[in-house]
Amino acid sequence: MSVLIVGSTALDSIKTPVAENPRLLGGSASHAAVAASFFSTVKLVGVVGKDFPKRYLRLYKRHRIDLEGLQILPGKTFHWSGEYEANMNNRRTLLTELGVFETFSPTLPNSHRTTPFVLLANIAPALQHHVLNQVQRPKFVVADTMDLWLNIALPDLLKLLKRLDGFVLNDSEAHQLTKEDNVFAALKKIHKLGPKYVIIKKGSHGSMLSSPRGFFLCPAYPLHKVVDPTGAGDSFVGGMMGYLATAKGPIEANLRRAMICGSVVASFCCEGFGLQKTTRVTRARIDGRVRDLERLTKF
């Protein structure tokens, strides 16, 4: 089965203490779509400007990503610029130019309206609603978010939570949303807001799933060198949804391994700037790191 992915499609200019990389392919939907593409077919919904480099369209196509839902409009592509500190944990935004993204309001192609797996990658909750309204009886809907939407669009986000099967957020966002320091207390409150499956991401410390069948501690793949963590969270949720869309059996039974697959794709994402490393990966290398994680955690 396919995954429909909506989110930002952007150009990222990323500075780290050792390098500067202008106008890389970025955005939550780009990272999530490439990550999901290793496991299933992907329908991308997004918008770019006329300045969007052709090579990035070719990159999507190499990953067999369906671009019928990608609008190319007169104007500039969303451009984000950020800078990481030496430890790669703290990031600050230097510049945000919304461009054509400012008025983005996608109409889904007919072929997209019955996609069973829907990933509402990080984007304004109103847009997540708008896309979800156009999908008929999806099988599994997951949304990601960021602190910005908790700050400026909380009512929209709370409405969205009632419509989701799964919700993914990081530990500081979980704290911000629930005012709870303890992860179990936070999870309990988030479930009450709607989603049956809640995943709390903890960066290099992995993630935690709370589901009707219980909790799962998902490790992060330990890395020898982190080059650029931009898009790691998007890659995680993209890889997870891609795996789920093609795995046999009930979702609940596949979710743990799906998270492990997401964690592995995220690890590759961190090893290069933007999507540079992720796009060079193969399914065989992903499976290799999944087996590594089995060995690393077995006792």
Looking at residues 247 to 286 of the shown chain, list those that interact with its own copies (rule: CB under 8 A). 256-257, 259-260
Does the protein bind its own copies through residue 162 (CB under 8 A)?
A: no
Other C-beta atoms lying within 10 Å of the C-beta of residue 8: 26
Q: Single out the segment in contact with its own copies by CB under 8 A; choices: 12-20, 57-65, 181-189, 241-249.
A: 181-189
Provide the minimum distance between the beta carbon of 283 and its own copies in the complex, in angstroms, as a whole number: 18
The rounded distance, in Å, linking the Cα atoms of 299 and 294 is 10
| Residue written as token pair 């703290």 | 90
Q: Single out the segment in contact with its own copies by CB under 8 A; choices: 113-121, 150-158, 216-224, 266-274.
A: 216-224
Q: Do 24 and 14 meet the contact criterion of CB atoms below 8 Å apart?
A: yes
Provide the minimum distance between the beta carbon of 135 and its own copies in the complex, in angstroms, as a whole number: 29
Does the protein bind its own copies through residue 158 (CB under 8 A)?
A: no
Provide the minimum distance between the beta carbon of 37 and its own copies in the complex, in angstroms, as a whole number: 22
CB nearer to its own copies: give 117 or 221: 221
Q: In this structure, what are the phi and psi dihedrals at residue 139, rounded to the nearest 5 degrees?
A: -80, -35
Q: Single out the segment in contact with its own copies by CB under 8 A; choices: 110-118, 175-183, 228-236, 275-283.
A: 175-183
With CB under 8 A as the contact rule, the residue among 50, 64, 192, 205 that binds its own copies is: 205
The rounded distance, in Å, linking the Cα atoms of 34 and 234 is 10
| DSSP for 229-276, written as a single string | -TTHHHHHHHHHHHHHHH--S-HHHHHHHHHHHHHHHHHHHHTSSTTT
Does the protein bind its own copies through residue 295 (CB under 8 A)?
A: yes
With CB under 8 A as the contact rule, the residue among 109, 182, 288, 291 that binds its own copies is: 182
3-state secondary structure of 169: strand
Looking at residues 54 to 93 of the shown chain, list those that interact with its own copies (rule: CB under 8 A). 86-87
Query: What are the tokens at 89?
Result: 């944990």
